[in-house]
Amino acid sequence: MDKLTTYSVLSRIRRSGDVYEPHGERTEIELSEKEAAPLKLLGRIGEPRGQIPRLC
């Protein structure tokens, strides 16, 4: 089983009948790295909770 990580929601996500929104009741979502990758590319979730993005 993949390790789950908590991410902040940047735009509305519907998953398994649940709705996650940046300004709703559910502002964080737990996902595996595999599930999170496409959502990161689309800008729907932020960096993992507790991590600051690296500056290049």
Residue 56 confidence (pLDDT) = 53
pLDDT tens track for 1-39: 678 999 999 999 999 899 999 998 899 999 999 999 999
What is residue 49's predicted lDDT score, i.e. its pLDDT?
78
Give every CB contact of residue 47 below 8 A, 6+ residues apart in sequence: 7, 8, 53
Beta-sheet strands, E only, within the chain = 5-9, 13-15, 18-20, 28-31, 45-48
